[in-house]
């Protein structure tokens, strides 16, 4: 009997833009996201406008988006806070979720990632 190697994907907080929204059915919505953080990037803790500052001022190297499994999901986080204080914080090995009364999160299933155009659906 062979065993499959299970390798958990890293939790990465990415700031993306909604490029398109298409209602396929009344209960199914296709959302296309885009942005440079779909590719490998590092945080810059000296910037105050980033959604992923790292504690201690050290940059955190983060990998390109990957969704190899049929049961993968991504969590989209919505906040009404313009400054972003309701958003989670990227740590070197995960994400910290500070308490928030205004944050809303929804899970979505990625169906396609196009590394040429930088779009994820």
- DSSP for 51-94, please give it: S-PPGGG---EEPPP---STT--EEEEE-S-TT-TTS-EEETTE
Identify the pLDDT of residue 25. 96
The string of pLDDT tens digits covering residues 8-43 is: 777 888 888 889 999 999 998 888 888 898 888 887
Look up residue 98 and give its DSSP letter. Answer: -
Where are the chain's structural domains? Answer: 17-113
pLDDT for residue 93 is more than 60: yes
Q: Which one has a higher pLDDT value, 49 or 71?
A: 71
**Contact predicate 36/65, CB 8 Å:** no
* Band (48; pLDDT cuts 50, 70, 90): very low
pLDDT for residue 65 is more than 80: yes
């Amino acid at each position: 009997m062979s065993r499959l190697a299970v390798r958990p994907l890293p939790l990465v907080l990415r700031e993306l833009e909604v490029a398109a929204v298409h209602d396929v059915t009344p209960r199914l919505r296709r959302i296309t996201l885009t942005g440079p953080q779909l590719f490998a990037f590092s945080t810059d803790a000296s910037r105050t406008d980033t959604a992923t500052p790292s504690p201690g001022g050290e940059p955190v190297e983060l990998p390109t988006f990957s969704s190899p499994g049929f049961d993968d999901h991504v969590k989209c986080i919505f906040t009404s806070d313009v400054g972003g204080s309701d958003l989670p914080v990227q740590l070197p090995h995960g994400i910290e979720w500070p308490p928030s009364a205004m944050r809303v999160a929804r899970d979505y299933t990625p169906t396609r990632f196009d590394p040429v155009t930088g779009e994820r659906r």
